[in-house]
Chain A
Amino acid sequence: MSTLVYAEHDNAQLKTETLKLVTAALQLGDDVHILVAGSQCQEVARQAASITGVTKVLTADNPVYAHQLAENIAELVVSMADGYSHILAAATTTGKNFMPRVAALLDVVQLSDVTGIESADTFVRPIYAGNAIATVQSHDSVKVLTVRASAFDAASEGNSAEVVALDTVIENQQVTFEHAEMTKSERPELTAANIVISGGRGMQDGENFAMLESIADKLGAAVGASRAAVDAGFVPNDMQVGQTGKIVAPQLYIAVGISGAIQHLAGMKDAKVIVAINKDPEAPIFQVADYGLVADLFKALPEIDRALS
C-alpha cells in the first residue's frame, strides 16, 4: 500500500512542511506519492519530484484549484484515495481546512496534528494544549492524518520522481474566493525559522516590536507574538504562537515580555533552547526557560541589539 502526501505550496514555491511530511510518510512505507493541486504549479511539482524517497508526483493543475479551497480539494483527494493506506497533509490552515472533509467523505476518522508514528495504525498526538500526549490506534482502512511538521526533520533533496498529470477538474459551485491579504515580511517564515523572537503584552505597543525586528534581523530570526500582543492589536494575528496560533519548534526561542500561559507554551515548548526576558521573576515562562533574565525589556533589548552588532 502507498501513502499520499498533500503538498503545501503557494503555487510558486513548495513549503518546507512538505519535506517534513515526506519524512513522516517514509516511516509508514516506501511508496510515497505527492499530490500537487493548484494553478500554474509546475515549478512546485518539479520541486516535489526532487524530494528523496518520493516515488511519484501527481499534479492537478487547473484554475479551479488556485486557492486550494476545501470543497473541491477534498473531493479531488477522495476521488484518488483508492489504493492508498495513508493520506497525509500538514497541520497548517490549508491541511486543517480540507482534510476533515476528506475523512468524513471516506467515512473514517482523522487524526489531527500527529507528532509521532508508532506503527502503521498507531499514532501519537498532543491533546489539552499539549499538556497530555495521547497514543491512538485507528481501525479504519484508510488513515487520514494531519501532521505537525515541526515534529519531523525535513527529507533531503536530489531525487527525480516521475510526474503524472491528473485531468480531474472539480468545479467549486458553493464558494467564491473574494480576496486575500497576506502579511509581507522579508524574515524567515515563523514555522520554519531556526530562531524565533516573540513579544507579549509587555511590549506595550506595536511600535516597540521594532526592537525585536532589529534583533531578529541580526540573528536571521522570525518574529512571533503571544495572543495578548495580537489581541491588543500590536501585531497581525498570523504572528501568534500558541494553541490557537502557530506551533513552532526552533533551535532558539526568545520570549520577551511574555508571562507563559498554558496556551502560549503549547506553541513553543518543544523549542531546543528557550530564553525568557521578563521583569516578573514569578512569571511561569521561567519554569520552562533554559536561560532566564529578570530585567526590564526596554533596557535589555537595546543591550542585546548592541551585543550582537
Chain B
Amino acid sequence: MKVLVTVKRVIDYNVKIRVKPDGSDVDLTNVKMAINPFCEIAVEEAVRLKEQGIASEIVVVSVGPSNAQEQLRTALALGADRAILVEADAQTESLNVAKLLAKVVEQEQPSLVIMGKQAIDSDNNQTGQMLAALCDMPQATFASKVNVADNTVTVTREIDGGLQTLAMKLPAVVTTDLRLNEPRFAKLPNIMKAKRKPLETLSPESLGVTLATHTRLVSVAPPAQRSAGVKVASVTELVDKLKNEAKVI
C-alpha cells in the first residue's frame, strides 16, 4: 500500500517570533526553520506502517518554496522513499495547498494520506480536511492511534471530552495529533542516503492548477503584552489578594 505524507517548512517551534515593524507580517529572515512538528509525527507514523509491512512505499510531499527541499530531505532521512516538491509561495492559502495536493493524490493514487493536524505558523488546522473533501475521501482528524487492516483504517481521535474511534474505508486522510507517536531522530548514514533518494519538483502550472487569491493579510501585530505582576511571599497573602484585590474568588 502506498502512503502519501505531507510536510511543511515552518519556523522552529522554539523560536520566539518577531513581528515586522511595519506590521506587514512576521519577520522570517535569518530565522531557524524546521519540519512542522505535527508533520514529523505524520512521517514517523508512515515509517512505522512500513516497518510493520503494511506500507510498501512512502511518498513525502511539500508545497512551499524551493528551500523546503531541506525538510523533504529530512523526511527522506527518517524513512520516506521519495519526495515531491510543489514549488509555491510559502504563504499559499490552505485551500490552494489542498488543491495542489489533490492533484498529487490524483497522480499518485495513495491508499492513505497522513498529514499533521495543523501547522504551528498559520495555526489553521484545515488542509487535511480540505484535501479529504476535494478528493471525496473520508477523514479522521486529530489521530492518536492508527490501525490499518483489510482495506480499512481504524483511528482513535482526540476530541473535546475524550476519545472517539472511527473506521474508514481506504483511501482516507488521517491528520496527526501530538500523542500519535514519538518521532525518531535521523541517523547520519540515513541523512547521507537521503541525499540520493529521488526528489521531483513540480509547479502549480505543471499540475494544471490555477490558484485564485481568496484573502488579503491586512496587518500583523504583536499581541497585547501582559506585564509581570507582583510576587507574594506566602499563601496567606496570595489568598488575601485574590479575595480582596483581584476579587476573583
Interface residues of A (CB under 8 A from B): 67, 69-71, 74, 92-94, 96-101, 103-105, 107-113, 122, 126-140, 174-183, 191, 195, 219, 227, 230-231, 236-238, 243-244, 246, 251-252, 262-263, 269, 272-275, 281, 286-295, 300, 303-304, 307-308
Q: Is the CB of B129 within 8 A of A131?
A: no
Q: Is the CB of B215 within 8 A of A109?
A: yes
Residues of chain A within 8 A (CB-CB) of B177 are 237, 244
Q: Take A93-B160, A134-B217, A174-B168 as given contacts and tell me if A307 and B235 are in contact as well, using a CB distance cutoff of 8 Å.
A: yes
Interface residues of B (CB under 8 A from A): 11, 13-14, 16-17, 19, 26, 93-95, 98, 117-118, 120-134, 137-142, 144, 154, 157-169, 172, 177-179, 213-223, 226, 228-232, 234-236, 238-239, 241-242, 246, 248-249
Residues of chain A within 8 A (CB-CB) of B226 are 269, 274, 287-288
Q: Is the CB of B95 within 8 A of A103?
A: yes
Q: Can you give 17 contacting A-B residue pairs, CB < 8 Å? A: A70-B129, A101-B139, A103-B95, A109-B93, A131-B17, A133-B221, A134-B217, A134-B220, A136-B217, A136-B218, A174-B169, A177-B165, A181-B163, A195-B249, A238-B161, A275-B242, A289-B228
Give B85 Cβ to nearest chain A Cβ, in Å: 23
Residues of chain B within 8 A (CB-CB) of A110 are 94-95, 124, 126, 130
Which chain A residue has the least Cβ–Cβ distance from B11?
A: A128
Residues of chain B within 8 A (CB-CB) of A103 are 95, 126, 130
Q: Take A70-B129, A174-B138 as given contacts and tell me if A180 and B162 are in contact as well, using a CB distance cutoff of 8 Å.
A: yes
Q: Is the CB of A129 within 8 A of B123?
A: yes
Give B236 Cβ to nearest chain A Cβ, in Å: 7
In the bound complex, CA of A243 to CA of B178 (Å): 11
| Besides A246-B160, A307-B235, 18 new A-B residue pairs in contact (Cβ under 8 A), listed by A number | A69-B166, A97-B142, A100-B130, A104-B134, A105-B133, A112-B123, A132-B223, A139-B215, A174-B138, A175-B166, A175-B169, A180-B159, A244-B118, A272-B248, A290-B230, A291-B241, A292-B228, A293-B234
Which chain B residue has the least Cβ–Cβ distance from A265?
A: B226
Of the candidates A126, A237, A304, which one forms a contact with B158 in the assembled complex, judged by CB atoms under 8 Å apart?
Answer: A237
Of the candidates B13, B126, B160, B219, which one forms a contact with A238 in the assembled complex, judged by CB atoms under 8 Å apart?
Answer: B160
Give B216 Cβ to nearest chain A Cβ, in Å: 5
Of the candidates A135, A231, A269, A275, which one forms a contact with B179 in the assembled complex, judged by CB atoms under 8 Å apart?
Answer: A231
In the bound complex, CA of A22 to CA of B137 (Å): 32
In the bound complex, CA of A294 to CA of B118 (Å): 35
In the bound complex, CA of A191 to CA of B159 (Å): 13
In the bound complex, CA of A92 to CA of B142 (Å): 12
Give A12 Cβ to nearest chain B Cβ, in Å: 13
Which chain B residue has the least Cβ–Cβ distance from A289?
A: B229
Of the candidates B122, B235, B248, which one forms a contact with A273 in the assembled complex, judged by CB atoms under 8 Å apart?
Answer: B248
Q: Is the CB of A251 within 8 A of B220?
A: no
In the bound complex, CA of A179 to CA of B163 (Å): 9
Q: Take A129-B123, A138-B214 as given contacts and tell me if A104 and B161 are in contact as well, using a CB distance cutoff of 8 Å.
A: no
Grouping DSSP codes into helix (H, G, I), strand (E, B) and loop, the A interface class, with mixed when no group exceeds half, is mixed
Which chain B residue has the least Cβ–Cβ distance from A130?
A: B223
Give B238 Cβ to nearest chain A Cβ, in Å: 5
Which chain A residue has the least Cβ–Cβ distance from B229?
A: A290
Residues of chain B within 8 A (CB-CB) of A93 are 141-142, 157-160
In the bound complex, CA of A142 to CA of B8 (Å): 28
Give B70 Cβ to nearest chain A Cβ, in Å: 20
Q: Take A93-B160, A182-B161 as given contacts and tell me if A109 and B123 are in contact as well, using a CB distance cutoff of 8 Å.
A: no
Q: Is the CB of B239 within 8 A of A308?
A: yes
Give B214 Cβ to nearest chain A Cβ, in Å: 4
Q: Take A139-B213, A286-B228 as given contacts and tell me if A112 and B125 are in contact as well, using a CB distance cutoff of 8 Å.
A: yes
Residues of chain A within 8 A (CB-CB) of B94 are 100, 109-110
Q: Is the CB of A126 within 8 A of B121?
A: no
Q: Take A177-B166, A291-B229 as given contacts and tell me if A251 and B248 are in contact as well, using a CB distance cutoff of 8 Å.
A: yes
Q: Is the CB of B123 within 8 A of A113?
A: yes
Give B169 Cβ to nearest chain A Cβ, in Å: 5
In the bound complex, CA of A100 to CA of B127 (Å): 8
In the bound complex, CA of A134 to CA of B121 (Å): 11
Residues of chain A within 8 A (CB-CB) of B132 are 70, 101
Which chain B residue has the least Cβ–Cβ distance from A75?
A: B133
Of the candidates B120, B130, B154, which one forms a contact with A101 in the assembled complex, judged by CB atoms under 8 Å apart?
Answer: B130
